Structure 1
């Protein structure tokens, strides 16, 4: 039986409302409750309002009481794009990048994704699970209550299944909710160099039918010298036929047409989008594709940021995620993500909160149950140690999360 919790005296409760993504101007709209309170029963939000209002209806004696005076309550953060199950690290490659070696050149040296593939193949399942558990514990301290995890560091059937199995096991015994994505089309393995179409057929014929019950989503790295638009279309159409929802790594390095493809196929999200075209942005908007932006990756790679401000102004739904991975973005720092989104990409603080809560939830097909502080939704919330949400980017790069409640249970006390 889950504990019942009554949070009172919060200086501020801030949240979007509803069960779907927020588009364009809607992303600025947060419902603010001063001197707020929340009642949680059986892991669900039972009531929300002012402290005075809820104290007149509910008795403190029936609950574990949290006095949030001087603090802020937000929905739990949703990190909707990560690669958190992997073996090995690539610190040497990071130093190469600092010395001016490009991402594509690192891949040509045998580094990049292929480097992590080798390490992940060699890492036993139980070790991957324990590595993943430690990373999830750290993510929760930053206020993340739901995370997406991708495979893609196997590029063969056995290792892809091993990664997805690690996520399945963690989802069953870790407080964090994990949404699994199959990303077998993350790179072309060396044994298929020059035979890329054969690898695409291998994924379609041999791998997808065996992993569709382990992953909710299928993703493809649609990029020059990786997988073409047509190859990506073939893989994603097969995944859709098998009942999987769709994502794309789209237009990260060159303007290839990945955003347009996401719109054409009705993908749930298109991610990265540093080079997305005007037509691609329009296609995402018209087809309700979530534009998931990853500013920590652009920062790490010294790339220009995606046009998040423009995407919102043109009516798109933008989500933010860390892209935590061992190579191009070895961080799951939510404070860094917020700072870059607000300072460098010029999102308002309200837009950034929406992007990392309800729009992140929508990018995972979970907006009906998480992402806002609405009655009947899961009690996933964050208590900040300051009296306003505006302190998140203001206290630059510092974690101000004091408590995290997941499914109605206190899982973090920082």
Structure 2
């Protein structure tokens, strides 16, 4: 049966298309001798070249290059003030984190700098980080708050994320992470701070349309299970999706809590156990792996990759870009780390930055795969095989980047 194009359709021809289509059983969902048909901001068809009827359409011949979905960076803390380079140097010289924190360092130093900076200054600081990711093929990104820790400054961070989504050809998913740590003014009063989030920060910023999901750092140095559940319960009443920084330093059962609330994702999860994994499988929650933080902190406790595979829990991969534990604005480098440090296969790595990352953002029905009715976000690589982007670092094989059907970058 012949597929008939409409006059406005753009036909992408002669590409090796790694669709990452989860309905296909072939590696990477890779198909050849097919045309990718884009109408407006959507993919309308992927059909054999011999079965398409061209009628004056624009045809873009990629001359045998590889086409993949655009990369998705599903866990970042991209907007913040200051940096922690001097603290890192102290740590490399043998100074303990406890000593640095006692001197006013750690996350609270980033909170101080973020609070001091204006919205415009934070926007300018975030731009080169975002540009670096875009230039590697990222078309969708998550940005968390969590360095303001009060109403005014959490709002400021989220407004910067919104401005970045307007200024750049990229889809931004914003997450409220006010429950990142207890701010200095609430020291010893974590319950009161959770009440502030539940009663004011979260409902008012949600009403303003400034975020898409709510997150919490459920950990011995963060918030307890009881406090995290109070936050999730309040979010549920407002219809807000939840996710969690959990099981990074210990096993508190945070993943099971997120799963009970049908959360989008659990992130870090080095200490995740079998019961937690079974809960994730039952809830459809994505496990987000963050090898950059594992590497930067010289961790030795690996996430339970084999158990996640065995129970078929989808594994996403992200940069976790942040000033304290993963200052890496390169998702491709993180892809390599995921393969080398976590022993994921290259195909698992690709799923981790496409279809599984999309699901971790609640966008699994529209992003992260090349198939009809999905958003036309894709990258043309000067390469033949998907493994090439995982394998070689330091070069940039991106040939074209397409966001919502529009070519944004060409080499």
- The answer, yes or no, to whether TM exceeds 0.5 is yes
Equivalences for 1:209-358 in 2 at 5 Å?
209-213=203-207, 214-304=210-300, 305-358=302-355
- Summarize deviations over 1:238-294 as a string: whole Å, max 9, x none: 112122110100011122221121112211111011111221122111211110111
Which of 160, 169, 172 is the equivalent residue of 2:166? Answer: 172
Kindly report the root-mean-square deviation, in angstroms, between the aligned alpha carbons of the 2 structures. Answer: 2.1
Query: Counterpart of 2:144?
Result: 150
Query: Counterpart of 1:9?
Result: 14
Q: Check whether the contact 2:273–2:304 (CA below 8 A) recurs between aligned residues.
A: no
Q: Is the aligned partner of 1:140 residue 2:134? A: yes
Provide closer, same or farther for how the CA distance between residues 289 and 73 of structure 1 changes in structure 2, counting only shifts above 3 A: same
Provide closer, same or farther for how the CA distance between residues 375 and 232 of structure 1 changes in structure 2, counting only shifts above 3 A: same
Provide closer, same or farther for how the CA distance between residues 46 and 27 of structure 1 changes in structure 2, counting only shifts above 3 A: closer
Q: Check whether the contact 1:335–1:398 (CA below 8 A) recurs between aligned residues.
A: no
Q: Secondary structure at the match of 1:245?
A: coil
- Summarize deviations over 1:147-177 as a string: whole Å, max 9, x none: 0100001111100011111112222342111
Provide closer, same or farther for how the CA distance between residues 358 and 112 of structure 1 changes in structure 2, counting only shifts above 3 A: same
- Summarize deviations over 1:52-74 as a string: whole Å, max 9, x none: 444xx224x421x4322241100
The one of the two structures with greater contact order (alpha-carbon pairs below 8 A, sep at least 6) is 1
Q: Is the aligned partner of 1:409 residue 2:406? A: yes
Q: Mean Cα displacement is larger for which, 399-408 or 303-312?
A: 303-312
Provide closer, same or farther for how the CA distance between residues 175 and 195 of structure 1 changes in structure 2, counting only shifts above 3 A: same
Aligned-pair CA distance for 1:398: 3.9
Q: Mean Cα displacement is larger for which, 259-268 or 71-80?
A: 259-268
- Summarize deviations over 1:309-336 as a string: whole Å, max 9, x none: 4312222111111101122111121221
Q: Check whether the contact 2:277–2:307 (CA below 8 A) recurs between aligned residues.
A: no
Query: In structure 2, what is the Cα distance between the partners aligned to 1:104 and 1:277?
Result: 28
Q: Check whether the contact 2:289–2:317 (CA below 8 A) recurs between aligned residues.
A: yes
Query: Counterpart of 2:3?
Result: none
- Summarize deviations over 1:30-52 as a string: whole Å, max 9, x none: 32112443121212112223444
Query: In structure 2, what is the Cα distance between the partners aligned to 1:382 and 1:376?
Result: 17
Q: Mean Cα displacement is larger for which, 377-386 or 204-213?
A: 204-213
Query: In structure 2, what is the Cα distance between the partners aligned to 1:388 and 1:251?
Result: 35
Gaps of 5+ in 1: none
Q: TM-score, normalised by structure 1?
A: 0.91
Q: Check whether the contact 2:19–2:31 (CA below 8 A) recurs between aligned residues.
A: no
Gaps of 5+ in 2: 1-6
Query: In structure 2, what is the Cα distance between the partners aligned to 1:110 and 1:260?
Result: 34
Query: Counterpart of 1:44?
Result: 42
Aligned-pair CA distance for 1:27: 9.3
Query: Counterpart of 1:62?
Result: 57
Q: Mean Cα displacement is larger for which, 197-206 or 269-278?
A: 197-206
Equivalences for 1:353-368 in 2 at 5 Å?
353-368=350-365
